[in-house]
Amino acid sequence: MSYTSVTGFPRIGKLRELKFATESFFKNEITESDLLNTAHELKEGSWKKQSAEGIDFIPSNDFSFYDNVLDTAVLFNVIPSRYRNLPVSELQRYFAMARGYQKDGLDVHALPMKKWFNTNYHYIVPEFEDGTSISLAGNKPVEEYLEAKKLGLQTKPMIIGPFTFLSLLKFTGNSTKESIASDLTAEYVKLIKCLSDNGAEWIQFDEPSLVKDLDDADISLFEKIYQSILENKSGCKVLLNTYFGDTRDIYSKLITMDFDGLGLDLIEGRDSLELIKKNGFSNNALLFAGVVNGKNIWRNDYAKTLDILAQIKAAGVSQERIVISTSCSLLHVPYTLDNETKLEDGIKKHFVFAYEKLGELRELAYIADHTDERAKEILNQNADILTADRNATDPEVQKKLAAITEADFVRLPAFAEREKIQKEKFGLPAIPTTTIGSFPQTKEIKKERSLYTKGQITKDEYETFIKERIREVIRLQEEIGLDVLVHGEFERNDMVEYFGEHLNGYLFTEKAWVQSYGTRCVKPPIIWGDVSRKEAITVKWSKYAAEQTDKPVKGMLTGPVTILNWSFPREDISRKESVYQIALAIRDEVLDLEANGIRIIQIDEAALREKLPLRRSDWYSEYLDWAIPTFRLVSGKVKADTQIHTHMCYSEFTDIIPAIDDMDADVITFEASRSDLQILDSLKENNFKTEVGPGVYDIHSPRVPSVEEIESALKKMLEKIDASKLWANPDCGLKTRGNEETIPSLKNLVAAAKRVRDSL
């Protein structure tokens, strides 16, 4: 019987139990041991479920209280001294690194966060100070292994591998990857020994960095690390696991090394299969074939998967050596369809979430081994579902797509002229202040929305409530003294889901949460068919907000690339075709806002950077060549004196600055506060034309920045950015924050901008 394996399992809980427990812990409502209990129950539940589904390689140490990369840093004692010195428990120190610490006169920033490869999951960027003594200080992988063992379950502990861990580290001093590699490797070796002594048979090293472009130095670093690991396996079997792409730069090396298992992504790894066919495979290792998609939720095409497996066999890997596996951790998909009560069965049958994917692994293993009646039945059932009609095509949408011409992508007049016109029209002060759109979504607001969705209050009552909040937030912004106001986005549950609800072709789930960072989860909608706008989406709210004030109110839309990237995409048409459909729908909304007097419109492309291909050679051909024109398609038809803003989370676009400028927005705001300000140098070098608002404080942390701190951030920015192009704003939307910290923070922001403005 073919083996089955899971790379990693979601951990936030089917009903987000971990989120709620952790947040209660942050508020001191429950104790540390309560939190540990919840964690144990969740782990136990996931292990038992996988075991019941007959999974052979069940992961452990895939659990995390916040993030696996942070876990790895703490495990090896890579803890900057500012956290080391805090007078708190281990777990609290861990959370301080993730969230910052502000208490009893102590004030420590959180470590920065970044997107995990090409996903919407964020990891904590570990920081390495010179003089840090790397040592196996923690015990989490062993504890979790034993926790499962006590339940009678043998697991394969998974851990971020040393090569990837090194590549994610930020070095603040003179140390380098190369200079600490052997110390770090020695500690990984100790970990293997420790796990092995406790009974672990396998250990899984996750090395997604291997799917990026690798140069000779990378390859020799990798070899050095793993030669030493493989010489010191302590009787444990080592699975080298890769995902999110193929390993074309190092594959031929990998298959000559003494790994016991090699995990390859056959879904996103465009060349994985070709690599096997061309180079063969190791003589002894098991091939963990990632054929069940860990990122999307469409049912696996069994016939296609069997064909892939057949090709692998034909390349010389015998049946017994193939382990049917997930393409990456199931962290990126929701828990289970069982919680979905509103989707029709005819629709639901097309989807598989984490629990259901376990069933796919089991069935695939069965049909890979058997040709009996049951195998035929499984195959037939699968084929029936896949060929069932989805009614996906809308002729109206097809007609509009066909009518797009080059002119739709060009905004006139050109930027320089528009900038002049807009300065005159809006008459904003130098370094105008604004926010990114959302204001705190208080308990009260969430409660009201839930009453409304449950039908316990009427639409009228709900809308009256939202309008009151809008009035309040407009007053508040006027009091604070912001220059460009927003309506606060109180009507939105989520920036993508809300838009999806107003688009044809979209489907929604009730409980299909996916962890985004820490305790934050998102519920990505599903693109089911051709997309078009059902009705005006935001016009009513923006218009209402604008009527409450004389100051300009910025309309707030989610951009098509972000809507696509944060949805579960279709697999039957290309992303480009899908995104152009969404762009046409959002363009209708842009023009509607403009016609209703909203003359500053922000089109958020929070997730544009996130799906940039991991290999540079694919950046344009596979992505930017359609993602950037998409933005121009949405905004190209507005008047010269309508100002188009965009917002991107994170500033990791140093390498693609010309492409970002090419979006041809008038203003772009982005995160710059958690990462260093090197982006500013690049803006300058590239003669960036678009006006910019690099976030001056970090909204992902509850700490309140002082006026001086913001002032000094702005002054630093002015060294690189012309005052006529600089805006002052927080680094992202405020919806996840409370008013307690938001109001003082914004007041400090306005005060700082004034000081800087006066000094010009």
732 is a site residue for ligand GLN (CB under 6 A): yes
Instruction: State the binding partner of 437 from Zn ion, ligand GLN, none, CB within 5 to 8 A by kind.
Output: ligand GLN
Residue in the structure block whose two tokens are 């139990």:
17
Among 709, 711, 755, 734, residue whose Cα is nearest residue 107:
709
Among 154, 258, 252, residue whose Cα is nearest residue 210:
252
436 is a site residue for ligand GLN (CB under 6 A): yes
Is residue 551 within 8 Å of 478, Cβ to Cβ? yes
Closer Cβ to ligand GLN, 13 or 437, answer by number: 437
Q: Which stretch binds ligand GLN (CB under 6 A): 162-170, 250-258, 430-438, 688-696?
A: 430-438
486 is a site residue for Zn ion (CB under 5 A): no
Q: Closest distance between ligand GLN and the C-beta of residue 586, in Å?
A: 14
Cα–Cα distance for residue pair 263/329, rounded to 1 Å: 12
**Interface with ligand GLN (CB under 6 A), residue from 42, 184, 649, 749:** 649
608 is a site residue for Zn ion (CB under 5 A): no
Cα–Cα distance for residue pair 736/520, rounded to 1 Å: 9
**How would DSSP label each residue in 471-494?**
HHHHHHHHHHT-SBB--B-TT-S-
Amino acid at 586: I
Q: In the annotation, is 700 catalytic?
A: yes
Q: Which stretch binds ligand GLN (CB under 6 A): 43-51, 287-295, 385-393, 729-737?
A: 729-737
Q: Closest distance between ligand GLN and the C-beta of residue 188, in Å?
A: 35
Closer Cβ to ligand GLN, 488 or 569, answer by number: 488
487 is a site residue for ligand GLN (CB under 6 A): no
Which positions from 366 through 395 interact with ligand GLN, judged by CB under 6 A?
Answer: none
**How would DSSP label each residue in 243-312?**
-SS--TTTHHHHTTS--SEEEEESSS-TTHHHHHHHH---SS-EEEEEEE-SS--BPP-HHHHHHHHHHH
Which positions from 275 through 294 interact with ligand GLN, judged by CB under 6 A?
Answer: none
Closer Cβ to Zn ion, 275 or 732, answer by number: 732
140 is a site residue for ligand GLN (CB under 6 A): no
Q: Which stretch binds ligand GLN (CB under 6 A): 15-23, 63-71, 442-450, 727-735?
A: 727-735
Closer Cβ to ligand GLN, 656 or 699, answer by number: 699
Amino acid at 559: G
Closer Cβ to Zn ion, 605 or 711, answer by number: 605
Instruction: State the binding partner of 735 from Zn ion, ligand GLN, none, CB within 5 to 8 A by kind.
Output: ligand GLN
| Torsion angle (degrees, nearest 10) of CA 397, 401, 402, 403 | 100
Closer Cβ to ligand GLN, 649 or 714, answer by number: 649
Instruction: State the binding partner of 42 from Zn ion, ligand GLN, none, CB within 5 to 8 A by kind.
Output: none
Q: Closest distance between ligand GLN and the C-beta of residue 558, in Å?
A: 7
Which positions from 553 through 572 interact with ligand GLN, judged by CB under 6 A?
Answer: 556
Tokens coding 727: 């805006």
Closer Cβ to ligand GLN, 556 or 726, answer by number: 556
Among 663, 655, 664, residue whose Cα is nearest residue 683:
655
Q: Closest distance between ligand GLN and the C-beta of residue 253, in Å?
A: 39
Cα–Cα distance for residue pair 350/264, rounded to 1 Å: 25
Instruction: State the binding partner of 524 from Zn ion, ligand GLN, none, CB within 5 to 8 A by kind.
Output: none
Among 650, 568, 586, 558, residue whose Cα is nearest residue 296:
568
Is residue 60 within 8 Å of 158, Cβ to Cβ? yes
**Interface with ligand GLN (CB under 6 A), residue from 8, 294, 437, 505:** 437
207 is a site residue for ligand GLN (CB under 6 A): no
Q: Closest distance between ligand GLN and the C-beta of residue 32, in Å?
A: 31
Which positions from 720 through 759 interact with Zn ion, judged by CB under 5 A?
Answer: 732
Tokens coding 322: 């193939």
**Interface with Zn ion (CB under 5 A), residue from 240, 250, 291, 606:** 606
Q: Closest distance between Zn ion and the C-beta of residue 603, in Å?
A: 13
Q: Closest distance between Zn ion and the C-beta of residue 498, in Å?
A: 15
503 is a site residue for Zn ion (CB under 5 A): no
Tokens coding 204: 């899984």
**Interface with ligand GLN (CB under 6 A), residue from 727, 733, 737, 742:** 733
Is residue 329 within 8 Å of 242, Cβ to Cβ? no
Residues 6+ apart with CB under 8 A from 206: 7, 8, 158, 159, 160, 161, 164, 241, 242, 243
Closer Cβ to ligand GLN, 10 or 730, answer by number: 730
Cα–Cα distance for residue pair 470/489, rounded to 1 Å: 8
330 is a site residue for ligand GLN (CB under 6 A): no
Is residue 245 within 8 Å of 270, Cβ to Cβ? yes
649 is a site residue for Zn ion (CB under 5 A): yes
Residue in the structure block whose two tokens are 């009893």:
104
SS3 173: coil
**What residue spans of 300-432 are helical by DSSP H?**
302-314, 345-348, 354-369, 373-387, 395-402, 415-426
* Set 109, 332, 647, 700: catalytic member: 700
Taking the CA atoms of 461, 452, 522 and 502 in sequence, report the sign of the dihedral they define.
Answer: negative
Of all residues in the shown chain, the one whose CB is closest to ligand GLN is 733
Report which secondary-structure segment, H or E, holds 727: none
Binding site for Zn ion (CB under 5 A): 606, 649, 732
Catalytic residue numbers? 700
Binding site for ligand GLN (CB under 6 A): 436-438, 489, 495, 556, 604, 606, 647, 649, 732-733, 735
